């Protein structure tokens, strides 16, 4: 981890935030704010790094660039999506829909829902953000769905995306009631069977 060590030294020498996880956290928080204010296109790596109080090079170091930072900060991915996938796979195939709905709502809730507003504003405002969102869902759901052997993976992935993105829109952005304040488990019981049908059911 010599890159991290170098960074840490540089940051301390300049009297900025310490590097490592703190830098990463600061960048994620700054990115959420800047993406929410300016959308995907208007948000620059420089503006995000400045708000975080770190070197712009740290964005490449930790996230591989603006797209990766968007995926992590706004889509609320953990640092390693493979890890999240493993968590979701851990259980019966016919309860995968339930695990996905519960896991995503819980993580989005704990981030205050604000990340979802940033996501939608970015996707609506810039073609590129739609690509990032699609690439994420594609990789993420395709791997999950194909692991349990369903056919028509691309269409099923799109259907799952439509339900999960719509759920986020109504709970966090448009804030319909009772959806916006409903208990997680009520939403899981209502939505999970529909997601499960998209994953393993007969879809025409």
* 8 Å CB contact between 48 and 59: yes
Query: Are residues 29 and 72 in contact, defined by beta-carbon separation less than 8 angstroms?
Result: no
Residue from 50, 128, 158, 200 binding a copy of itself (CB under 8 A): 158
Check binding of 163 to a copy of itself (CB under 8 A): yes
Distance in angstroms (rounded) separating the CA atoms of residues 86 and 56:
32
130 touches a copy of itself (CB under 8 A):
yes
Report phi then psi at 2, rounded to 5: -70, -30
173 binds a copy of itself (CB under 8 A): yes
Residue 10 vs 179, nearer CB to a copy of itself: 179
Q: Which residue from 71, 69, 64 is spatially nearest to 26, judged by alpha carbons?
A: 69
- Joined tokens for residue 20: 């490592």
Tell whether residue 134 is a contact of a copy of itself (CB under 8 A).
Answer: yes
Contact 100, 195 (CB under 8 A): yes
Does 112 interact with a copy of itself (rule: CB under 8 A)?
A: no
Residue 2 contacts residue 61 (beta carbons within 8 Å): no
Q: Which of 56, 77, 169, 200 binds a copy of itself (CB under 8 A)?
A: 169
CA–CA distance, 57 with 11 (Å, rounded to integer): 11
Q: Does 42 bind a copy of itself (CB under 8 A)?
A: no
Binding residues among 135-154 for a copy of itself as defined by CB under 8 A: 137-138, 154
Question: Could you say whether residue 14 binds a copy of itself (CB under 8 A)?
Answer: no
- Residues at the contact surface with a copy of itself, assessed by CB under 8 A: 117, 120-121, 123-125, 130, 133-134, 137-138, 154-155, 157-159, 161-167, 169-171, 173-179, 182, 186, 188-191, 193-194, 197-198, 203-204
């Amino acid at each position: 981890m010599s890159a991290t060590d170098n960074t840490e030294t540089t940051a301390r020498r300049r009297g900025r935030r310490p590097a490592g996880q703190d830098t990463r956290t600061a960048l994620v928080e700054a990115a959420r704010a800047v993406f929410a204010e300016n959308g995907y296109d208007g948000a620059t790596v420089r503006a995000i790094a400045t708000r975080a109080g770190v070197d712009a090079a740290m964005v490449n170091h930790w996230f591989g660039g603006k797209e990766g930072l968007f995926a992590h900060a706004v889509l609320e991915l953990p640092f390693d999506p493979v890890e999240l996938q493993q968590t979701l796979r851990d259980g019966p195939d016919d309860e995968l829909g339930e695990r996905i709905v519960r896991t995503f709502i819980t993580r989005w809730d704990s981030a205050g829902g604000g990340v979802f507003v940033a996501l939608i504003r970015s996707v609506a405002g810039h073609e590129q953000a739609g690509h990032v969102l699609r690439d994420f869902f594609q990789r993420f759901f395709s791997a999950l769905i194909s692991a349990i052997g369903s056919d028509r993976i691309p269409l099923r992935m799109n259907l799952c995306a439509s339900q999960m993105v719509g759920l986020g829109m109504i709970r966090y952005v448009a804030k319909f009631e009772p959806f916006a304040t409903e208990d997680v488990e009520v939403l899981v019981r209502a939505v999970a069977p529909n997601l499960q049908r998209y994953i393993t059911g007969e879809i025409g």
